Amino acid sequence: MPLLMLDLDNTLVDRDTAFRDAVAAFLAEHGLPATELPWVMTVDAGGYAPRPDVAAAMTDRYGDAVPVTAVRALLDHDAADRVVLADASREAVGHALADGWTCVIVTNGRTAQQEAKIRRTGLHRLVQGWVVSEEVGCKKPDPEIFHAAADSVGVALTGAWVVGDSPHADIAGANALGLQSVWVSNGRPWTRGSFRPTHVAGDVAAAIGHVIGAAGQGTRSVL
């Protein structure tokens, strides 16, 4: 059974929109101006900034106006409570499963938060498994996390595909292992010159559709 390794945040689910909505509610609740939203989103860096660093920056900026517990709640739970799985994404995963693919989520982040997203969206009932960097002790693009994903479902990496939105974590990780990949662009241009994905797709549904089609044709696409 071929292996399809799928990123979670901003690939399967729109993590940034969920976080933006959570921050907007946070600012309104604590009487802070909505103009603070871009600053928080910048500090968050799409979820890649370490959570302690984001918490420290927000606590320093807002001081006594916001309890530390409220900042922690925002970062630990609020975005995870708002993520949704789009119908098109759900259907695409279903098509991959029906076509014989073994689907595993490979995500960087904290175990409790990432598993909350997986369960909230119902992905735990769709995919065969998932690995979270905190739990396995390594992060994408480290090859070990991809090996851990394959081991978790008992499927070899040979012939596997990686789908994700991060050039560094997902595509560079796939390239290091000689795996085919689809970069989910979310409307962005590809700017890396030293490596590139097998294919570029605008969203995860199109990405999964490409993988299924390419495997059926036995051909390799190029960027």
d(Cα 33, Cα 205) in Å, to the nearest integer?
Answer: 36
Quick one: pLDDT band at residue 220, thresholds 50, 70, 90? Answer: very low
How confident is the model over 29-73, as pLDDT tens digits?
999 999 999 999 999 998 889 999 999 999 999 999 999 999 999
> How does residue 187 score in pLDDT terms, banded at 50, 70 and 90?
very high
In tens, the pLDDT along 105-148 reads 999 999 999 999 999 999 999 999 999 999 999 999 999 999 99
Read off the pLDDT band of 219 (50, 70, 90).
very low
pLDDT of residue 218: 55
pTM: 0.92
Q: Amino acid identity, residue 63?
A: G
CATH assignment, 3-14+84-217: 3.40.50.1000
Q: Which long-range contacts (CB under 8 A, 24 or more apart) does 90-97 make?
A: 90/122, 90/126, 91/205, 92/204, 92/205, 92/207, 92/208, 92/209, 93/6, 93/12, 93/123, 93/126, 93/127, 93/208, 94/126, 95/208, 95/209, 95/212, 96/4, 96/208, 96/211, 96/212, 97/126
Mean pLDDT over each residue of the chain, to the nearest integer: 94
Q: CA angle at residue 18 from 136 to 25, to 5 degrees?
A: 125
Q: Of 149, 137, 147, which Cα lies nearest the Cα of 8?
A: 149
pLDDT in tens, 83-92: 999 999 999 9
